[in-house]
Amino acid sequence: MDGDPQQPRPPQLRISDADRHRLAEFLREAAGEGRLEVDELEERLEATYAAKVYADLVPLVVDLPGAASVVPTSAAPAPVEPHAPASSSYVALPQPANSTAVLSSQTRKGAWVVGASHTAFSLMGSVDLDLREAVFTVREVVINANTVMGAVDIIVNAHTQVIVEGTGLMGAFEQSRDKVAADFGPYSPIVRVRGFALMGAVTVTRKPMPGQKRGFLGRASS
């Protein structure tokens, strides 16, 4: 939330994009702890970015411990008892280490776990990696993206920093024009993209979160 999240706020006061992003991170952490199923996480993230006032946020966190840290005390319900720790972190989410497309296509999107590194390769095909709703296990992630006469498209959100270090050989290896303004914070994840594109393209694009309406952060929606 903007300022102190514990500061009382009227339930019908309009929320900001920063409020939405903070709650989204809270929900992803809950999913990573095994408290939310994949479908539940996706539904709550969609509702988060559609929320208008503080009262809209309450149903999204009412059954999660630590709700008061992201919902103002005047709008939040009474604290709930902490759930038992998950037996294994991220147990409910897919955790692919690589994505490969040979004369085909592969897409990663929604809630999934990105480890310290992920390898993407396409040969006359396409790989789409949507990291906007992904759960990061470490702050800095390395994406090894390579393509031969194909494409690897990587999508990040406004809060993810990107470092593009690859090489295009008769092709393109680049970050395209942002579709939403960058909005970094002290805990923003970092995605470092390495590799090569031979007669193909590796492209990183910053887009609004799924469910965000046109005009959020002053840019067009995806």
| Per-residue pLDDT, 213 | 59
Tell me if the pTM is above 0.75.
no
| Per-residue pLDDT, 221 | 40
Q: Give per-residue burial for 157-186: e unless 16+ CB within 10 Å, then b.
A: bbbbbbebebebeebebebeebbbeeeeee
| Per-residue pLDDT, 141 | 93
Q: pLDDT under 50 in the chain at which residues?
A: 1-10, 73-89, 214-222
| Per-residue pLDDT, 69 | 72
| Per-residue pLDDT, 17 | 83
